[in-house]
Chain A
Amino acid sequence: MITASQKPINEIIELVEPYKKLLILGCGTCVKTCFAGGEDEVAVLASVLRLSFKKMARPIEIEELTIERQCENEFIQEASPGIARNDAILSLACGAGVQAMAKRFAKEVVLPGLNTTFIGIQESHGVFTEECSGCGDCSLATFGGICPVTRCAKKLLNGPCGGSQKGFCEIDPDTQCAWHLIIERLTTLKQQDNLKTYIPPKNWNTSLSGGPRKLIREDHII
């Protein structure tokens, strides 16, 4: 899932201040799961904005709507009437959703209400961790299903640095050392030989380093 968290409320207030009619648009997939942009969060944000604009004695009309996904045209369509009624859209989607909205409604103001953080999982209720950087060339098979490109602070491919202590990373005592986990897991899987394997420099061309990427499925294009 793509995780995100809401921008600080005062930053949002500053963003929406110039507008009198605002559509807060939630996204019901990833960011709903991480409690950032689903209908509950839309309702809370709307209420907070109403309170704070009342306090400032400034008028604002807020409409609330949550669609299934802001990153797909098929669902975006549902938002059209609401968008037509308002001056600006405060999108509680990830950065992809915000941009999809901006692309679809070229003449409308689309503002981001969230900070998009990472591709991750919900490790336990309310705790989300980053697991994948979308590098475009997955080598999880070599590393026992734990990604050092994402989860090692130094992206080390050939073993842990000298700062790993008692299973935790030197940069943060709450972050597990990815290499410690890789070693444990490869040991469990009896694949310790992988630890000795030399991993050559990574080809970053498939990652964002190669420029914004495009995925084309010819068989789906008509």
Chain B
Amino acid sequence: MKTYSRLHEKLTKGKFVVTGECGPPRGANKDVIDKKIRLLRGFVDAVNVTDNQTAIVRMSSIAASAHLVAAGLEPVMQMVVRDRNRIAIQSDIMGAYSLGIKNILCLSGDHQKFGSQPDAMNVFDIDSVNLIRTVKDMRDSGKDMSGFDLDVAPKMFIGAAANPFADPFEYRVIRLAKKIDAGADFIQTQCIYNMDRFKEWIRRANNEGLTDKVYILGGITPLKSAGMARYMNNKVAGMDVPESIIKRMDGVDKKSRADEGIKICLETIEELKETNGVHGVHIMAIEWEEVVGQIVEQAGLK
């Protein structure tokens, strides 16, 4: 079977994979990327590079991904449809592939309203499902969206996001199926804190046979403090941090809260390893990359 990237290859071999995350800097400083590369190297199978995450203007995900490629790490280039029309999207995918980028995560993108430049006009020419299909069509048919034969077609391992915690819950599995039909090879989920809800979602996905068609990586974000837990629950759209987790973070003294957050992560990873249909974890240690190595080692995933 042809594999499109090292991440793909590891998944086909049945490895429980780990992906990390690298948020590009708010500026042109490559040193920030180099520092994150040093922290993640050797611990993760691939690194997601965010695309103007939360609609805050940052170094482009293509450029930052190319820096990772040059350093020998495998990026998962995130791409949102918020900022590009289909012309720019296809062009950027070809460019990215020519730079050695082999994985893509197809996203709608956070609305610019809460970003650093809410006055901007958004694009949303195509939606994330159609972005997935566009990448797949280019890869499998060698044609662009107009049907034009590309001399070298980008052949990427295609990822999509799923949020089992957003509403309406009943629709979340239908949406997953739609993304798989469109061509998603792997799924990275929203951060999991509500394990019951996640398990119900994966159970339904298993029943529909979806987990046989796609690799699912569960989202993990270590909590640094009880305040962060509360903030994520109340302020971050589509995030579900149950009261029990918030209480647990509250229950330990201040200086041990980061350790407690890591402990919660390790327990979550342990459960995910045992969950049928889960093929790895995606650790998003937001501006806390130094903790990723520790989590991976203690979880026995190295």
> Direct A–B touching in the complex (beta carbon < 8 Å)?
yes
The answer to the question of B64 belonging to the interface, with a C-beta cut-off of 8 Å to chain A, is no
Q: Verify if A24 is at the interface (C-beta below 8 Å from B).
A: no
0/1 interface trace, chain A 196-219, chain B, CB 8 Å (1 if under):
101111101000000000000000
- Please, how many angstroms separate the alpha-carbon atoms of A162 and B162 in the complex? 7
Q: Which of B108, B114, B170, B177 contacts A161 (CB 8 A)?
A: B108
Contact mask for chain B residues 118-145; partner A; CB cutoff 8 A; 1 contact, 0 none: 0000101111111001100000000001
Q: Which of B107-122 contact A (CB under 8 A)?
A: 108-111, 113-114, 122
Would B86 and A201 count as touching, CB distance under 8 A?
yes
Task: Indicate whether A170 sits within 8 Å of B111 (C-beta atoms), given known contacts A164-B167, A180-B168.
Answer: yes
Q: Which residues of B contact A136 (CB under 8 A)?
A: none
> Which A residue sits closest to B189, measured CB to CB?
A162
Report which residue of B108, B110, B125, B134 has the largest number of chain A beta carbons within 10 angstroms of its beta carbon.
Answer: B108
- Chain A contact residues, majority secondary structure: loop
User: Bound complex: CA of A138 vs CA of B2, how far in Å?
Assistant: 42
Q: Which residues of B contact A162 (CB under 8 A)?
A: 108, 161-163, 165-166, 190, 237-238
Residues 107-145 of A at the B interface (beta carbon under 8 Å) = none
Hey, which chain A residues are within 8 Å of B126, CB to CB?
201-202
Interface membership of B282, Cβ < 8 A? no
Interface string of A139-166 (1 = CB under 8 A from B): 0000000000000011111111111111
| Interface size counted on chain B using CB atoms at 8 A | 38
A163 touching B238, Cβ below 8 Å: yes
Structural contact, A201 and B145, CB atoms closer than 8 A: yes
Flag whether A195 is at the interface (Cβ < 8 A).
Answer: yes
* Interfacial chain A residues near B134, Cβ < 8 Å: 201
Number of A residues with CB within 8 Å of any CB on chain B: 30
A28 interface residue per 8 A CB criterion: no
Asked if B175 and A160 make an inter-chain contact with CB atoms under 8 angstroms apart, the answer reads: yes
CB distance from A74 to the nearest CB of B (A): 37
A-side contacts of B124, CB under 8 Å: 154-156
A164 and B111 in contact, given A180-B168, A201-B125 (Cβ under 8 angstroms): no
Query: B174 in the interface, Cβ–Cβ < 8 Å?
Result: yes
B216 to chain A, nearest CB (A): 15
State whether A156 touches B127 (Cβ < 8 A): yes
Chain A residues in 8 Å Cβ range of B181: 198
Contact between chains at A195 and B174 (CB < 8 Å): yes
What is the bound-complex CA distance between A3 and B253, given in angstroms?
56
A158-B178, A163-B238, A201-B126 are known contacts. Are A171 and B167 too (CB-CB below 8 A)? no
Chain A hits for B161, CB < 8 A: 162
| Pairs of residues from A and B, 5 with the lowest C-beta to C-beta distance, nearest first | A162-B163, A170-B237, A163-B237, A158-B129, A162-B238
| Interface, chain B (partner A; CB < 8 A) | 81-82, 86, 108-111, 113-114, 122, 124-130, 133-134, 145, 161-163, 165-168, 170-171, 174-175, 177-178, 181-182, 190, 237-238
